[in-house]
Amino acid sequence: MSEQKQVLGVHEAASSHWVGDGFPVRTLFPSNGVTELSPFLLLDYAGPARFEPSIRPRGVDEHPHRGFETVTISYQGSVDHRDSGGNSGTIEPGDVQWMTAASGVVHEEKHGKDFTARGGDFEMVQLWVNLPAADKMSKPGYQGILSADIPRVELGTGAYARVIAGELNGVKGPAKTFTPVNVFDLRLEPGGTGQISLPAGHNSAIVLLRGEVVVNGSSMLKGTAQVALLSTSGETVLLDAKAQSLVLILSGEPINEPVASYGPFVMNTQAELRQAAEDYQAGKMGRV
């Protein structure tokens, strides 16, 4: 039998704030002792929140990124995206947007037009994934991944996973990544159980967005916005759901390089951060 990964600690979201006027988020990491989860840099959980109908779309006006990727997963509500690379689209429930900022992208994120007009419940995750130094100044990219293109793997009674990136039980996700990364979107019914295989050597985490699950028969995640860090040793994780649960599982091969970050830029040195700011101010990352 495969060795189980150990739960190293369970952490609450440390901060709650608004991003623009459309995204009330809780930051699960980096915060509350969760500082090193390479290649993952940040995870914001937006909502669940109720928005009333509006004439003007809420959200974030144009802003830059360089040196990493943003991954937006929609659970409820929708987001319209436009960027300086000419990409645009609407992220509907179940869809994923995987944007590679790399050498530099300016983009805008607003509530979808239909969602703005009718209002409703809004719930999303945005994950930042680091890029190796060799790829930080590569050409930006954009992957608009529709829900219908994300394969589903049955895990057991009352539990399944959508494979967004990486591989689970021989099923590969549609996202193209620069380094080995697994991103699994799990849904569990009360009493549902599922075993997940994750590579030894990966940095791994279980993110409980909402619900109640027991990990490996002992560690409990309950409520909303909690993250459990796992050991790099071991290869399996067992989940038992005590309530209907929404879970995100992340694992990735660490990028063992220096990290220098400032706001929307993640590079390897302070000099590269200064250059990123200068390039943005000079318009070298384009405009929406």
3-state SS of 218-275 is CEEEEEEEEEEEECCCCCEEEEEEEEEEEEEEEEECCCCCCCEEECCEEECCHHHHHH
The two structure tokens encoding residue 36: 């090193």
Of 214, 199, 58, 25, nearest to 126 by C-alpha is 25
Q: What's residue 279's pLDDT?
A: 97
Of 237, 239, 242, 209, nearest to 223 by C-alpha is 209
pTM over 0.85: yes
Q: What's residue 1's pLDDT?
A: 61
Q: What's residue 31's pLDDT?
A: 77
Domains of the chain: 7-252 (2.60.120.10)
- For 48-97, how does the pLDDT look when each residue is reduced to its tens digit (9 = 90+)? 999 999 999 999 999 999 999 999 999 999 999 999 999 999 999 999 99
Alpha helix stretches (DSSP H) within 103-168: 113-118
Q: Which segments in the chain show pLDDT lower than 70?
A: 1, 32-33
**Neighbouring C-alpha atoms within 13 Å toward the C-beta of 139:** 3
Strand (E) or helix (H) holding 39: none
